[in-house]
Amino acid sequence: MARVGKAFLTSLKSNVNLGCCYYHYHFHRHSITYSFLRHLNLPESRAIARYVARKYESSGPDLLREGNLRESAMVDLWLEVESQQYNPAISSIVNQYLIIPIHGGVPDQKLIDANVEKLGMVLDVYEDHLSKTKFFAGDFFSLADLDHLPYTQYLMATPYASLFESRPHVKAWWEELSSRPAARKTTAAMPKSG
């Protein structure tokens, strides 16, 4: 079984300078929260992502599409789907399979199986949607796609990566997302399993 090493837990307690901002990882009730240390305190990663996307919109990709009402609404819709449907299922699988063993615990296979089923249903919706459009909000890359990166990257280090392999449009979307230079740079900095 793949396991996340001690470097994972150590890195979660470290300060990170991203060049554009400086933040600190810390634990809160067994989950990870993020806080900007200089001028703003945002204890939720999705709020941080939106903040950074807005702050650097003029010098990077337009990840929120706020200049176009329809496109912005689609980004918002798929951000909610990721947050409310995708994340609960995938995070449970990753936490049970990779994190629980670090703490000496035994993964709850029934919980994993239930969430594999839930994630499969979400991925079926994704498969249908991505058969009609390249990315979630349209034929443009957005924060709705990017928010999927961290947990999906970890899932790919488990046997449950097959959930993506069996869905050609989801697989193509993931390959497109994970091959982007910024995604490769981000995932290279993520703690490794093993």
Are 122 and 136 in contact, with CB atoms under 8 Å apart?
no
> What tens digit of pLDDT does each residue of 126-174 get?
999 999 999 999 999 999 999 999 999 999 999 999 999 999 999 999 9
Structure tokens at 137: 């909000």
Q: Name the pLDDT band for 48 (thresholds 50, 70, 90).
A: confident
Question: pLDDT grade, residue 61 (50/70/90)?
Answer: confident
Work out the burial of residue 190: count CB atoms within 10 Å of its CB; fewer than 13 is exposed, 13-18 middle, 19 or more buried. Answer: middle
CA angle 87, 36, 95 (to 5 degrees): 25
Has this prediction a pTM greater than 0.75?
yes
pLDDT of 175 > 90? The answer is: yes
Return d(Cα 11, Cα 149) in angstroms, integer.
Answer: 18
Let me know: does 75 contact 104? Beta carbons within 8 Å: no
Q: Inform me whether the pLDDT recorded for 44 exceeds 80.
A: no
- Please state which architecture CATH assigns to domain 6-188: Up-down Bundle (1.20)
Spatial distance between the Cα atoms of 174 and 176, rounded to a whole number of angstroms: 5
Residue 43, pLDDT > 80, answer no
The rounded distance, in Å, linking the Cα atoms of 156 and 67 is 34
Q: Where are the domains of the chain?
A: 6-188
Predicted pLDDT at 188: 87
pLDDT for position 45: 77
Secondary structure (3-state) at 164: helix
